[in-house]
Amino acid sequence: MSTANIAAMLRGNALRFADRDALVFEGRRWTHRQLDDDVNALAAGLAAQGVGPGGRVAIVANNVPEFLILSLALSKLGAVFVPLNYRLTAGELAHLLGHAGVQAVATVPEYAPLAAAAIEGLPAVRRFALEPIGDGWLDLRALADDHRGERVADADLGDDALQRIVYTSGTTSLPKGVMLTHGNVNMNMHAQIVELGLRPGDRILNFAPLYHVGGTDLPGYGIWHVGGCMVLQRRFDPLAVRRAIEAERITGMVMAATMLDMVRRVEEPADLSSVRWLIYSQVTSALFAVARELFPNARLIEGYGLTETCSGLTYLDEAHMESKQGSVGIPVPWVQVRVVDADGDDVPVGENGEVVARGPKVSPGYLDDPAATGSAFRDGWFHTGDVGCFDADGYLYIRDRLKDMIRSGGENMSSAEIENVLADHPLVLAASVVGAPDPKWQEVPVAFVIGRPGLTADSLIAHARARLGRFKVPKEVYIVEEFPTNPSGKVLKRTLRDLRGSMTPDWTYG
């Protein structure tokens, strides 16, 4: 009997790759046989506790193996997992737990007080412990041990069966619950395997938060689909990253531009030659050169994706990673991408419009939110809210988020366009531009820059003035050591705007 259940891959792997590493974490190792055994034991225990098809279990935890094992055990049962950001407040978590209709929340000791506070007003929600916590929390490790050796049949699921609910960051509105199906996840795994050339000997390093598609789907579960190994880290640490690459002979990973810079700064030497591919985004020319030096054998992949597309939507191919630098590449297999105007018509080559996508790895919509679903998923296409354009060869360039466009004196300007110009300065490693309130112009561009030694604000402004219209030149420049980022490495522009009020600019207009 065929099924779309993503957990179905485990049994085959336990036979084909029985004694090969599947998962490594802080000195602990699982072979593919052991991973299959652990998922079955936990699934049997959960079933005995009344967790079944359609049941929903939230996870509030950083990266631990039990997070992944629980997600697969729930998938095996036809239940749904709801990964939540542990940086939220108890009140924010309570809202999401209620919205998702969960029957239990699973956590680790570090976040047990937060989770307990979040479910204080939800007496029906049960307490599961991924790692031992104590009284009042059902220890899932012990539960699995009690059912060791038992096997559970994979629930017979169609492509449209819900696998998880992932909440958006809610930067411009209340968080929305993105529904990802087993069909979405399966097609994403296939796309990642084809795009990255994944094979059984591959070993990925994963420090991206597992509550985010960057941790679970880029390529995430996909490494197990081919019998490879995931080396999991609790959180990002640049020294630990370097050491793990050498010790585990890592072949691929995902790294934000800010993380790449931090790895560069680590002085302890390490052999990084095993890395065959590196996915990143928003990397400047200077950081591209750094990446080439750090990872001499790697395909450097500028990528673009969203939670609603189950991670990577487009990748830059190896043949064009230098000649098309700045492009996010072409669509991964089985998806279509267009750039359209306000009427939904394709814009000419080189002109900006909204990026839209469709395909079997694109979410069907938002949980219990018909208005948001109708707005973003219409006419058969998902509207990303990102501004981009295609070049004559069909390569996509992301210009900005619609919400990050700076509105100044009746003109709309792209913060990304300004960032790209600043990034071309030979001493700039990273640039982020935000709109700041202005009594005359409504908003003006303000730049935050991470630079190499010797960078001055004056030279940066001279560089910008030679390449940008006058109204696009930043009116303030702040040279900083690092940017505030979320756990997946994305720059938090809202935080930059807030920080500006407490900082002294290195350069200001007038």
**Once rounded to an integer, what is the mean pLDDT over residues 179-203?**
97
| Tens digit of each residue's pLDDT (9 = 90 or more) over 447-474 | 999 998 999 999 999 999 988 878 889 9
Which of 75, 77, 88, 73 is closest to 38 using CA atoms?
73
Amino acid 257: pLDDT: 80
234 within a domain of the structure (yes/no):
no
Question: Virtual CA dihedral for 94, 95, 97, 99, nearest 10 degrees?
Answer: 160
Is there a single domain that holds both residue 61 and residue 136? yes
Residue 282 pLDDT > 80: no
12 within a domain of the structure (yes/no):
no
360 within a domain of the structure (yes/no):
yes
**Once rounded to an integer, what is the mean pLDDT over residues 205-216?**
95
**Once rounded to an integer, what is the mean pLDDT over residues 216-234?**
97
Amino acid 1: pLDDT: 46
Is there a single domain that holds both residue 460 and residue 435? yes
With beta carbons less than 8 A apart as the criterion, state whether 384 and 356 touch.
Answer: yes
**Once rounded to an integer, what is the mean pLDDT over residues 64-75?**
98
Is there a single domain that holds both residue 330 and residue 410? no
451 within a domain of the structure (yes/no):
yes
Domain limit, last residue, from 165, 181, 197:
181
394 within a domain of the structure (yes/no):
yes
pTM for this structure? 0.84
Tally of domains in the chain: 3
Amino acid 141: pLDDT: 98
Is there a single domain that holds both residue 498 and residue 487? yes
362 within a domain of the structure (yes/no):
yes
CATH number for 36: 3.40.50.980
Question: Virtual CA dihedral for 121, 122, 128, 129, nearest 10 degrees?
Answer: -20
Q: Which of 147-156, 252-261, 479-488 has the highest mean pLDDT?
A: 147-156
DSSP 211-267: TSHHHHTTTTTHHHHTT-EEEE-SS--HHHHHHHHHHHT--EEE--HHHHHHHHH--
CATH number for 455: 3.30.300.30
The pLDDT confidence band at residue 172, using thresholds 50, 70 and 90, is very low
157, exposed or middle or buried, with CB in 10 Å at 0-12, 13-18, 19+?
A: buried
State yes or no: cis peptide before 219, omega within 30 of 0.
Answer: yes
Is there a single domain that holds both residue 349 and residue 471? no
Residue 18 pLDDT > 50: yes
Is there a single domain that holds both residue 139 and residue 154? yes
Amino acid 408: pLDDT: 74
Amino acid 2: pLDDT: 63
Least confident of 44-53, 302-311, 488-497: 488-497
Is there a single domain that holds both residue 356 and residue 483? no
Is there a single domain that holds both residue 382 and residue 409? no
Least confident of 198-212, 310-324, 349-363, 423-437: 423-437
Residue 150 pLDDT > 50: yes
| Domain region containing 383 | 326-402
Amino acid 501: pLDDT: 85
Residue 430 pLDDT > 80: yes
Is there a single domain that holds both residue 61 and residue 154? yes
**Once rounded to an integer, what is the mean pLDDT over residues 121-134?**
96
Amino acid 487: pLDDT: 61
Q: What value does the mean pLDDT of the chain take?
A: 93
Mark out the alpha helices in 331-456 (DSSP H runs). 370-376, 415-423
Amino acid 99: pLDDT: 96
Amino acid 409: pLDDT: 60
Amino acid at site 266: V
Is there a single domain that holds both residue 82 and residue 169? yes
Q: Is 25 helix (H, G, I), strand (E, B) or coil?
A: strand
CATH number for 337: 2.30.38.10
Amino acid 488: pLDDT: 58
Is there a single domain that holds both residue 359 and residue 426? no
| Tens digit of each residue's pLDDT (9 = 90 or more) over 378-422 | 999 999 999 899 999 999 999 877 667 787 765 667 787 788 889
**Once rounded to an integer, what is the mean pLDDT over residues 4-28?**
97
The tally of CA atoms less than 13 A away on the side-chain side of residue 4 is 18
443 within a domain of the structure (yes/no):
yes
Is there a single domain that holds both residue 354 and residue 410? no
Domain limit, last residue, from 368, 402, 436:
402
Amino acid 190: pLDDT: 97
Which of 257, 171, 169, 236 is closest to 449 using CA atoms?
257
Amino acid 173: pLDDT: 52
Amino acid 413: pLDDT: 76
| Tens digit of each residue's pLDDT (9 = 90 or more) over 442-453 | 789 999 999 989
Amino acid at site 151: R
223 within a domain of the structure (yes/no):
no
Percent of the chain with pLDDT over 70: 96
Question: Virtual CA dihedral for 16, 157, 71, 122, nearest 10 degrees?
Answer: -170
Domain limit, last residue, from 375, 402, 429:
402
